[in-house]
Structure 1
Amino acid sequence: MDLLLTTLGFICIIVGVLGSFIPVLPGLSSCWVGLLLLYLTDAVAINYWVLGITFVLMVIITILDYVIPAKGTKKFGGSSYGVWGTNIGLIVGIIAPIPFGVIIGPFVGALIGELLYDSSNHKRAVKAATGSLLGFLASSFVNFMFCIIYLGIFFTIVWQNRTGLF
């Protein structure tokens, strides 16, 4: 059972790392579930401090994950159309077989969203799309960094308890 929980925990961590860039997948919350599954094994003594601190950080980062792109768009003069365009463009950029679709998609999506909002002001639309893209990239970077930290915690715990787990 320990090996199954460890494997499921590792899968959750990998899904979380991928989810830090792909909005359809859960990001940091999936990583936290991976840590929780590891602590539910008999071989690993539960550490409420680690689980508690990582949980609080996960909640804060998850909230910021929604706030940062919107703030980036608003700071650069954008609307909610730009935020929605960013998210839709990201999904299209992931699915479409184009190079750098993850970066190009959100920018083009935000630009189209802003042009739908106000088609007469192209300069403002480009500025808002840039803000939306920068907000998305900043949010993804923060999420990715914390996912990597959780991955490091996971491997450290597995390494320290390798004799009981394997």
Structure 2
Amino acid sequence: MDALLLIIGFICMLIGILGCFLPVLPGLGISWLGIVLLYFTTAVPANYWILGITLLITVVISVLDYTIPARGTKHFGGTKYGIWGTNIGLIIGILSPIPFGFLIGPFLGAFLGELFFGSKNHGRALKAASGSFIGFLASTFIQFLVCLLFLGLFISLVWQYKEALF
């Protein structure tokens, strides 16, 4: 049973890293699940501090994943209409069947929100939409780094308890 949990946990780690770039998969949550599965083995003793801290990191980064693009819009001069457009565009982009909708949605949402409801200035609307896109890229990069950190923790724990696991 330990070998099965180890394999499923490692697969979760890989899917989690992939999920950083595919918005349909909650990448960080799946990576955290991989760590939890490792602690379900009889070979690795439960460490509630590590599980709690990694869960807290997962929750905080998951919340930031939705707020960073909106903050990027605001930082680049967007108004509340651009921020709302970013959030609405992100939801529509994720749910839409178009390729790369998760990238196009927030950008278009911020652009259209600024253009129609904020200022009528095309340059300012484009700048706010660019801020949304940069925020999305920053959020994805942070999530990817944390997933790599979780993978490193997973490998470290497997290495530490390799005699009992194999």
TM range (shorter): 0.7 to 0.9
- What number of residue pairs does the alignment pair up? 161
1:79: which partner in 2? 83
Letter of the 1:33 counterpart: L
Shift of 1:90: 7.0
In the alignment, which residue of structure 2 is the partner of 1:150?
150
- Report the CA distance between 1:136 and its aligned residue: 0.5
Root-mean-square deviation (CA), in Å? 2.6
Cα offset, 1:58, TM superposition: 1.2
Distance 1:14 1:119 in 2: 44
Moved more, 116-125 or 71-80: 116-125
Instruction: State whether residues 73 and 83 of structure 1, in contact with CA within 8 Å, keep that contact through their aligned partners in structure 2.
Output: no
Following superposition of structure 1 onto structure 2, how do residues 62-77 of structure 1 map, counting pairs within 5 Å?
A: 62-76=62-76, 77=78
**Secondary structure of the equivalent of 2:158?**
helix
2: distance between equivalents of 1:42 and 1:66?
A: 37
Structure 2 residue identity aligned to 1:80 = W
Contact 1:20/1:140 (<8 A) preserved: yes
In structure 2, relative to structure 1, the CA distance for the partners of 1:56 and 1:157 (3 Å cut) is same
- Runs ≥4 in structure 1, deviation > 6 angstroms? none
Structure 1 match to 2:53:
53
Matches of 1:63 and 1:146, distance apart in 2: 14
Residues 88 and 110 (structure 1 numbering): CA distance in 2 closer, same or farther, change over 3 Å? farther
Change (3 A) 1:152 1:122: same
Q: Contact between 2:13 and 2:151, CA under 8 Å: does it hold in 1?
A: yes
Task: Say whether the 8 Å CA contact 2:89–2:109 is kept in structure 1.
Answer: yes
Q: Once the two structures are superposed, what CA deviation does each residue of 1:26-45 show, in whole Å capped at 9, x if it has no partner?
A: 12111111100001001111
Q: Which runs of 5 or more residues in structure 2 are unaligned?
A: none
Query: 1:79 is paired with a residue of what secondary structure?
Result: helix
